Amino acid sequence: MRRRRNLPLLPMGIICLGIFILYLLGSFLFSGGQQAERVVDQFYAYEQDGDFSNSWELLHPDMKKKFEQGDYIQDRAHVFIGHFGADTFSYTIEEEDKVENWRMSKETDSHKVAYKFVVTQKYNGKYGSFSFLQDVYVVDHKGDWVIVWDYND
């Protein structure tokens, strides 16, 4: 009959250290700012494809109160694609800033943490080439990262 030997403490310590390092690496890779940036990227990828229904779903409930989904879809397609005479656009996402106690407007509650990005949409249409620049904020709402725009004066 063979006796089972306990692992020596040194290998167990190395295993625990490895797990801890993986945890820290995972925390870094999936930090709030990076998750927020992925939401902004997904939002504008939907907009770029003309999938305004899915982009609307990524908006904060306070944003959804400003316009119903049908109005949003119609307005975005009409203004950005129709009026500008462009079929699509390219975009860049820059300048992640972590902002504390930020609010969408004076009438809304503040968010403990918001991530601010500067998004530039570049159009080539019947009126030539032009860029549209907007500050985009991302906040955690009930465990989901969602888009919020700035309505402060």
pTM: 0.78
- Sheet hosting strand 89-103, strand order edge to edge: 89-103, 110-125, 128-141, 144-149
Give the Cα separation of 20 and 99 in Å (integer).
29
For residue 116, count CB atoms less than 10 angstroms from its CB and return exposed for 0-12, middle for 13-18, buried for 19 or more.
middle
Q: What is the percentage of the chain residues whose pLDDT exceeds 70?
A: 80
Judge contact between 111 and 105, C-beta under 8 A.
no
Judge contact between 125 and 141, C-beta under 8 A.
no
Enter the tokens of residue 70.
Answer: 């049908």
Enter the tokens of residue 114.
Answer: 């918001």
- Say if domain 11-149 classifies as CATH 3.10.450.100: yes
- Give every residue of the chain whose pLDDT is below 70, as ranges: 1-31
The DSSP letter of residue 107 is T
Would you state the torsion angle of the CA atoms of residues 57, 63, 66, 69, taken in this order, to the nearest 10 degrees?
Answer: 0
Give the Cα separation of 127 and 84 in Å (integer).
7
Q: Give residue 28's pLDDT.
A: 47
Q: Give residue 74's pLDDT.
A: 93
Domain boundaries, the chain: 11-149
Q: Give residue 72's pLDDT.
A: 95
Amino acid at 4: R
Name 63's Cβ contacts closer than 8 Å, sequence gap at least 6.
Answer: 104, 146, 147, 148, 149
